[in-house]
């Protein structure tokens, strides 16, 4: 068949794998956890490319969603996680065998290459699948060693979830908000700088970036739901709201349970003409959903554009002001801070120092 013989499992290869596991244990960012696990596995098996999938078990079918693609030219390995992880695909026989089999991995020759599939997680309940294509036929020792490394990946992912996810809804928790908010503000600043750059000075990979946004969602009359139906059904409403958020927003959007019945959404690269429709689509999805026992539930939303010149506290305050306007003017609606200011329905507060400067400018030009 012309395929190459895999290099023996030398102490040096095991040492490299252990070093990868040690580095993985110190990785805190989720995307970096995915990237590092895939790249270490690719180097260990000398793969040409690899795919990392999340797994969804349903009563009707078994599906996978692509988390990232890893490609190697022999010298360097690159990782691309620009996929949305929302395009669920049916599994082929090799992946199905891997997920339901006794060993947690499968091997198949395809032309002059070997296709290797590893399930990550408990057999029959795996949460990820790593697929690697390599010109080398792996040994059983290779597969066992890599399976142990992937347990380290699973453990690190569980540690990340424990530290960063809300235990009920599995959305990001309040503790993670500050760091992500700083990154969102930094992204907004980069987008502004890129868009101000003269066209002739832009590199080919420079693209016009759209603004970033912060949205705050609050379930209308949630206390009434808890009082009338009990906290068990109140928790079910929170779970369903979280599911609707995951369906309504993109995989790269950041979704938080901020506390109680309040949620926060961070959006990147969304045009000003589109942001209201995006939030309203979610609001409508909530209104149209049939919640168990409770029936119809509604929510109010306020959002604000991220201006990197404004403090994080003030940016959050603007989104909150827009939310309170929605709740005070009938609920079950979406409002943006800038639009409310333009219509004269909210007043733009200028910090004291800026207010003095603005007063001086007014005296000169008015």
Domain-wise residue ranges, the chain: 4-159, 174-360
* Residue that has been written with the tokens 């909530």 in this structure: 286
Share above pLDDT 90 across residues of the chain, in percent, rounded to a whole number: 63
**204 three-class SS:** coil
**150 three-class SS:** helix
Handedness of CA 15, 16, 19, 24 (dihedral sign): negative
Q: Annotated catalytic residue: which of 22, 97, 161, 261?
A: 261
Would you identify the CATH topology of the domain 174-360?
Alpha-Beta Plaits (3.30.70)
Residue 6 has pLDDT above 70, yes or no: no
Q: What is the CATH number of domain 4-159?
A: 3.30.450.40
Most confident option among 25-34, 124-133, 202-211, 325-334: 325-334
Lowest mean pLDDT: which of 84-93, 150-159, 318-327?
84-93
How does pLDDT run across 75-104, given as a tens digit for each residue? Answer: 788 888 766 555 678 888 899 888 887 778
Average pLDDT of span 195-203: 57
Write the CB contacts of 38 (distance below 8 Å, at least 6 apart in sequence).
50, 52, 68, 70, 79, 130
**355 three-class SS:** helix
- Residue 215, strand partner residues: 265, 303
Q: Is 261 a known active-site residue?
A: yes
Most confident option among 33-42, 101-110, 344-353: 33-42
Antiparallel, parallel or unpaired: β 299-305 and 213-219 = antiparallel
Write the CB contacts of 85 (distance below 8 Å, at least 6 apart in sequence).
54, 65, 66, 67, 251
């Amino acid at each position: 068949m012309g395929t190459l013989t895999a290099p023996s499992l030398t102490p040096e290869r095991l040492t490299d794998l252990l070093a990868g596991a040690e580095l993985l244990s110190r990785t805190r960012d989720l995307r970096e956890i995915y990237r590092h696990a895939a790249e270490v596995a690719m180097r260990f098996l000398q793969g040409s490319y690899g795919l990392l999938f999340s797994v969804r078990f349903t009563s009707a079918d078994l599906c996978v969603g692509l988390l990232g693609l890893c490609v190697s030219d022999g010298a360097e390995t690159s990782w691309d996680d620009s996929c949305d992880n929302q395009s669920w695909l049916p599994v082929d026989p090799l992946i199905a065998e891997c997920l339901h089999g006794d060993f947690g991995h499968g091997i198949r020759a395809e032309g002059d290459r070997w296709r290797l599939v590893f399930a990550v997680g408990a057999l029959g309940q795996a949460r990820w699948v790593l697929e690697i294509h390599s010109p080398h036929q792996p040994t059983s020792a290779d597969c066992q060693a890599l399976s142990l490394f992937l347990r380290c990946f699973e453990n690190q992912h569980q540690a990340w979830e424990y530290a960063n996810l809300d235990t009920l809804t599995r959305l990001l928790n309040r503790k993670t908000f500050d760091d992500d908010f700083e990154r969102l503000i930094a992204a907004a600043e980069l987008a502004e700088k890129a868009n101000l750059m003269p066209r002739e000075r832009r590199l080919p990979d420079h693209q016009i970036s759209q603004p970033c946004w912060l949205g705050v969602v609050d379930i209308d009359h949630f206390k009434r739901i808890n009082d009338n139906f009990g906290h068990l059904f109140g928790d079910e409403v929170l779970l369903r709201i979280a599911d609707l958020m995951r369906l309504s927003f993109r995989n790269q959007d950041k979704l938080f349970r901020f506390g109680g019945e309040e949620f926060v959404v961070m959006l990147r690269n969304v045009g000003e003409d589109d942001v209201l429709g995006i939030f309203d689509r979610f609001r409508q999805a909530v209104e149209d959903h049939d919640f168990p026992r409770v029936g119809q539930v509604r929510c109010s939303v306020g959002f604000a554009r991220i201006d990197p010149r404004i403090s994080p506290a003030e940016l959050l305050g603007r989104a909150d002001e827009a939310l309170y306007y929605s709740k005070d003017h009938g609920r079950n609606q979406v409002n943006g801070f800038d639009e409310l200011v333009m219509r004269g329905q909210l007043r733009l507060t200028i910090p004291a120092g800026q207010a003095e400067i603005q007063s001086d400018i007014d005296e000169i030009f008015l």
